[in-house]
Structure 1
Amino acid sequence: MKKIISLFYRNLFLTNRLFAALTCSVVLFLLSFFFPWLGIIPTLAFWVLIILFLMDVLLLYRTANGVFAKRHAPERLSNSDNNDLGVYIENWYSFPISVGIIDEIPFQFQKRDIWFKTNLKPREKKLINYVLRPTRRGEYEFGDIRVYAKSPLGFIRRRYNFEQAETLPVYPSFLQMRKYELMAISNRLTDIGIKKIRRIGHSMEFEQVKNYVQGDDYRTINWKATARQGNLMVNSYTDEKSQHVYCIIDKSRAMKMPFEGLSLLDYAINASLVLSNVALLKEDKAGLITISEKLGVVIPAERRPAHLNKILEALYKEKTRYLETNMELLFAIVRKVIKQRSLVVFFTNYESLNALHRQLPFLKRIAKYHLLLVVFFENTELKKLSEQPAADVEGIYIKTIAEKFAYDKKLIVKELAKHGIQSILSTPQNLTINTINRYLEIKAKQKI
């Protein structure tokens, strides 16, 4: 009995409407001292309020379970993407109600305003959708769903607690991967910013004879087939297949820097996942290596159906470390694991020429055996500072230093090119698009 009474008081909440009615009743009692003609009106008003209050309690509590709610969530969330979630709610009362819903989302989002309001007719069902954008990989713990129901009288709210604690993993951006996957399958990568690569020459792997369309190379016209068909026919060639593409991700402290809530490591992980998927769709073999002061994950290049999921699971667990990259160890692993000439995409970050010079001897040795593509980041915050006009002497100093760092980035590109190493200097937001662009360009020019 005590437990029932305790639950009753714990889940009963008074509304502003009740306090407003009590305030009016008190005012009437005060006025009755100055205006005796009010008589018993204040007393009647008070008892009417008490009766309505008890009726409201009876309406909400005579049904044991007047409301049902459940969270609709995917099995896993995609990092840096908008993930759709929802709360399904159903009114089991015989009268319309107004409800407020609190979904206890993980603390990582730092949001305390997830409050939804809606009205439900008798026996009505609704699905309330909302969006969450995580910025860190890992496990996110959701709490209970709390529903506050209010009858048409509106003097109290009854709280319903639905225990639905669950833990959802946040994986690298698989939603972005699927978007690029659909574009790659339909050859529509240009629709989302992937530029069209102009071919210089073509692969010698014959695919088919097809009708000529505007834009086809005249040199590929098949005159014998043209004579037989009476229409221009051309030979179609396909890119070379089963080439090895390795993504090497630097996990050192240089990749800890945050941009728009995501670390550089997360940007590199998302780009690696998309690049691996596109490479597999192009019938190449994708591999992965992660490195810091010690070796992380090594996944040899393959094309098996479950290979992409193996890469996804490996990337999900990676974290930034705080020491510099052991480049000597990286070179030893590359020589041991990668047996044939491959495209090696090294995701890292350099803030100065000195940082590059410490690693350059090992980069040159890797480039001797493989086609090395170094991908590093443009500091967008420093770029903004360098473009802002200086208002005082301190502003001039800041602008000059920012321009120096931006110029160092360009010198790093030139230094790498001087040693025959390709590079991409990209903003974090455009990293995926720029990396896929360069991969498609390398395949089109048959550089591997």
Structure 2
Amino acid sequence: MTFTPRTIFLLIFFSLLTVSGFAIDELLYIGIVAALLLFAAICFEFWFMPNQDQIIVWRKVASKLALGVENSVKIYVENRSVSELKMMIHDEPPDEFAMRSVNFEATLRPREIRSFYYEIHPNHRGDFVFHNVNLSCYGILFGLIQKRYIFSLLMPVKVYPNFKAIKKFELTALRGKWMQSGTRPVRQFGQGTEYESLREYSPDDEYRNINWNASARMAKLITTQYQVERSQNVMILIDAGRLMGGVSMGLSKLDHAINAALVLSDIAIKKNDNVGILVFSKTVQSFLAPKKTRTQLSFIAERLYNVKSELVESDYASAFEYLRQKHKRRSLIVMFTEFLDRYSSQILIHNVSVMYPKHLPLCVLMKDHSLNMIVNQAIESKDDVYQKAAAAELLEEREQAIAFVRSHGAIVLDVLPENLSSEVINKYIEIKNKNRL
């Protein structure tokens, strides 16, 4: 128990009043009476201060949080005492999270339960811990004393890739409706080779799909409708080297890649394809063989949630050799990586050529917002000239490197981080529809 600033002020004031009473008798009596009244009020407040077992506190937060988005936290406080409680509540979420205020003031009547809500914004994946909830109660009369209660509510949580984005793409991807995402819609039927159904011919259908036998029987043109192939393999490779540690839109490139990989995995599994992952930097960090079971997405999320970028150069050769030994079947290899110049792209192409044409490689890169901003900014000083020239040179080298990779048969996506998931899924559906696997 401690005195509040109000009590300390009154004690000092009454002490000065009492000392002044040696010169003026009336002030002495006033000071003594006031001090006694203050003491009585403190005793009264102390008497009605509740024990810790008369206050129940619990926290409600999901054990799995999503990276880069708002996640809700609720604190519940129950007053089981017989008196009204004035209190201050302070929660202790992980320091690594961005959040609004975690301090709350409230007055609870006897037997009342009150909830307090705030949001957290995880900026890093991995394991974290919520700590104590601290509660300070003030005296019921004038708030002269304060008693602190510490509730040990240790709660481990895991921050996963942004699984909340899955629902955003799930329905649109499965139906081929991409206008909401700002991407070009691709056709879902008529470009595969697996039989789907027969229907009446329409002017947009290809002549080669007309079923002449069925047309003769029904005395009208009938077309055969095909669907894209199922049970194919999608192998997702994620580069966790130093170039993937760059930050864009508040998240690292690795974070953006993992978010997109999780969304792609969900869509591909729902389209009955087998999905696996391989994470690498200097060495292979994690491998999960392609499957399409209902639990595969959970396994993928579990492998990805704690992946960190390393300050090392990525070894493409060891990653592709590991994949070659572990996975033999033809697959769409979606590799989230980054390179800056033609030299690094040559290293990539040398290793991709080992996989091609048995596999179909798709290299996914992310544009750098900061470089584009520097190139487009107005020149105001001599330093701006040098910065703009350097940024333009880096962008030119990068474009040359991308062109070099494309010239050797690899598919390359170079997109803004915020469009990564939609562009990757759109390309995946396009590849499926064109029967490139």
TM-score (norm: length of structure 2): 0.86
Query: More deviation in 326-335 or 91-100?
Result: 326-335
Alignment match, 2:82: 94
Query: More deviation in 34-43 or 397-406?
Result: 34-43
2-structure distance, mates of 1:46, 1:233: 101
Conserved in 2, the CA contact under 8 Å of 1:66 and 1:92?
yes
Conserved in 2, the CA contact under 8 Å of 1:294 and 1:326?
yes
2-structure distance, mates of 1:204, 1:105: 53
| 1:81 to 1:32, Cα distance in 2 relative to 1, 3 A | same
Conserved in 1, the CA contact under 8 Å of 2:77 and 2:115?
yes
Alignment match, 1:341: 330
Alignment match, 2:321: 332
Q: CA deviation at 1:332?
A: 2.7
Superposed CA offset, 1:124-161 (max 9, x none): 11221222222222221222221112243211222222
Partner SS, residue 368 of structure 1: coil
2-structure distance, mates of 1:195, 1:151: 65
Conserved in 1, the CA contact under 8 Å of 2:336 and 2:363?
yes
1:122 and 2:93 correspond: no
| 1:187 to 1:327, Cα distance in 2 relative to 1, 3 A | closer
Alignment match, 2:252: 263
Q: CA deviation at 1:272?
A: 1.1
Conserved in 2, the CA contact under 8 Å of 1:96 and 1:151?
no
Conserved in 2, the CA contact under 8 Å of 1:201 and 1:445?
no
| 1:366 to 1:150, Cα distance in 2 relative to 1, 3 A | same
1-structure distance, mates of 2:175, 2:346: 42
**Equivalent of residue 403 in structure 2, options 414, 421, 425:** 414
Query: More deviation in 232-241 or 251-260?
Result: 232-241
Paired amino acid for 2:229: E
Conserved in 2, the CA contact under 8 Å of 1:184 and 1:281?
no
2-structure distance, mates of 1:217, 1:385: 48
Unaligned runs of 5+ in 1: 1-11
| 1:361 to 1:143, Cα distance in 2 relative to 1, 3 A | same
Q: CA deviation at 1:70?
A: 0.9
**Equivalent of residue 139 in structure 1, options 100, 115, 127:** 127
1:66 and 2:54 correspond: yes
Q: CA deviation at 1:408?
A: 2.5
Alignment match, 2:269: 280
Conserved in 1, the CA contact under 8 Å of 2:339 and 2:398?
yes
| 1:399 to 1:291, Cα distance in 2 relative to 1, 3 A | same
Give runs of aligned pairs for residues 223-234 of structure 1, distance below 5 A.
none
Alignment match, 1:385: 374
| 1:208 to 1:385, Cα distance in 2 relative to 1, 3 A | same
Query: More deviation in 84-93 or 273-282?
Result: 84-93
**Equivalent of residue 238 in structure 2, options 236, 249, 253:** 249
| 1:409 to 1:279, Cα distance in 2 relative to 1, 3 A | same
Q: CA deviation at 1:37?
A: 6.3
2-structure distance, mates of 1:392, 1:80: 36
2-structure distance, mates of 1:295, 1:38: 83
**Equivalent of residue 148 in structure 1, options 114, 136, 150:** 136
| 1:194 to 1:102, Cα distance in 2 relative to 1, 3 A | farther
Superposed CA offset, 1:229-258 (max 9, x none): 9x9998654322112111111122222223
Conserved in 1, the CA contact under 8 Å of 2:48 and 2:83?
no
2-structure distance, mates of 1:393, 1:333: 49
Unaligned runs of 5+ in 2: none
Q: CA deviation at 1:191?
A: 3.3
Q: CA deviation at 1:69?
A: 0.3
Partner SS, residue 153 of structure 2: coil
Partner SS, residue 122 of structure 1: coil
1:196 and 2:201 correspond: no
1-structure distance, mates of 2:87, 2:343: 61
Query: More deviation in 295-304 or 371-380?
Result: 295-304
2-structure distance, mates of 1:64, 1:165: 18
Q: CA deviation at 1:398?
A: 0.6
2-structure distance, mates of 1:201, 1:207: 9
Conserved in 1, the CA contact under 8 Å of 2:243 and 2:339?
yes
Partner SS, residue 420 of structure 1: coil
**Pairs aligned (count):** 435
**Equivalent of residue 342 in structure 2, options 353, 360, 363:** 353
Paired amino acid for 2:111: R
Query: More deviation in 424-433 or 25-34?
Result: 25-34
1:160 and 2:149 correspond: yes
**Equivalent of residue 430 in structure 1, options 409, 419, 424:** 419
Query: More deviation in 307-316 or 174-183?
Result: 174-183
Conserved in 1, the CA contact under 8 Å of 2:188 and 2:228?
no
| 1:238 to 1:112, Cα distance in 2 relative to 1, 3 A | closer
Conserved in 1, the CA contact under 8 Å of 2:176 and 2:185?
no
**Equivalent of residue 396 in structure 1, options 385, 398, 401:** 385
Q: CA deviation at 1:68?
A: 0.9
Q: CA deviation at 1:184?
A: 4.3
| 1:222 to 1:359, Cα distance in 2 relative to 1, 3 A | closer
Superposed CA offset, 1:196-244 (max 9, x none): 225795224333457999x975978999999999x99986543221121
RMSD: 3.5
TM-score (norm: length of structure 1): 0.84
Conserved in 2, the CA contact under 8 Å of 1:334 and 1:366?
no
Paired amino acid for 2:66: S
2-structure distance, mates of 1:226, 1:90: 74
| 1:403 to 1:71, Cα distance in 2 relative to 1, 3 A | same
**Equivalent of residue 76 in structure 1, options 58, 64, 73:** 64
Query: More deviation in 317-326 or 194-203?
Result: 194-203
Paired amino acid for 1:399: K
| 1:196 to 1:59, Cα distance in 2 relative to 1, 3 A | same
Partner SS, residue 419 of structure 2: helix
| 1:358 to 1:185, Cα distance in 2 relative to 1, 3 A | closer
| 1:38 to 1:69, Cα distance in 2 relative to 1, 3 A | same
| 1:182 to 1:119, Cα distance in 2 relative to 1, 3 A | farther
